[in-house]
Amino acid sequence: MTHKGRIVSAVALTTLALGLTACNDGEDAASAQDSPPASAPASSDPGSKSPSSDPSDDAAAPADGDVAAPGTKFKIGDRAVLPFKYGTDKKGTVAVTVTAIEKGAEADMASFGDKAKGMTPYYIRMKVENVGGTDLSYASLRLRGKLEGGGPTGVILIGDLPGKCDSETAPRDFTTKGASYETCSLSATKTDPIAVASFEEGDAYSDSPVLWTS
């Protein structure tokens, strides 16, 4: 199941101002036009390296249930076990492997309208596994893009770019241990390149995200 995208607020240095404008004036939020979806997941072999304070350190992958602590840093290709909650009734443990952070073209953002001018999209591709074996069917997990060093991009997006970065929800059978699917989180910047994927779900991780870097 794929979500069509729109810009909630497109910002460079004035995140708050444009965020308020987007909330108060429906005409400022441009809807993306539908285009035929196509599957374009990156299929990179997940690595077997564990988290460390320095993403260049090598070690064995964490065992199932060995949850990554807030602030842990991984390399792209590493597998991170994380607590996950979706809505009010779905809760469990997942493993996320970021397989790629791909740079798109400014022209890819055309369907988002004028607010997207000057933005370069980045596609954060990942594999999500059900580690706890709880019912997480139809749940949706999103990673955020950040600049090198972990700084914010200054751009807030919701949705995807069909055929280029499809944000998939978990399938109906994502209810058992070992079930998995692939998805993509869309991010964009008007300034420096996006080089980091960030997991920020839950109070502890919102303050100290788990990060993947190249």
The CA-to-CA distance between both ends of the chain, in Å, stands at 29
The half-sphere exposure of 36 on its side-chain side, counting CA atoms within 13 A, is 1
Q: What is the mean pLDDT of residues 166-173?
A: 95
pLDDT value, residue 187: 95
Q: Work out the pLDDT band at 144, boundaries 50, 70, 90.
A: very high
Q: List, for residues 5-29, the tens digit of each pLDDT value.
A: 545 543 333 332 333 233 334 333 3
The structure's pTM equals: 0.71
Dihedral sign from CA coordinates of 83, 86, 92, 96: negative
Q: List, for residues 51-74, the tens digit of each pLDDT value.
A: 443 433 333 344 454 899 999 999
DSSP string of 54-68, one letter each residue: STT---PPPPTT-PP
* Average model confidence (pLDDT) across the chain: 78
Q: Are 94 and 81 in contact (CB under 8 A)?
A: yes
- Strands (DSSP E) along 152-199, which ranges? 156-158, 180-189, 194-199
Q: List, for residues 110-142, the tens digit of each pLDDT value.
A: 888 888 899 999 999 999 999 999 999 999 999
Q: Work out the pLDDT band at 156, boundaries 50, 70, 90.
A: confident
Q: Which helix (H) or strand (E) holds 92?
A: strand 90-103
pLDDT value, residue 133: 96
* 50 vs 63: CA distance, rounded Å: 9
pLDDT value, residue 193: 95
Q: Work out the pLDDT band at 106, boundaries 50, 70, 90.
A: very high
Q: Which helix (H) or strand (E) holds 21?
A: helix 15-24
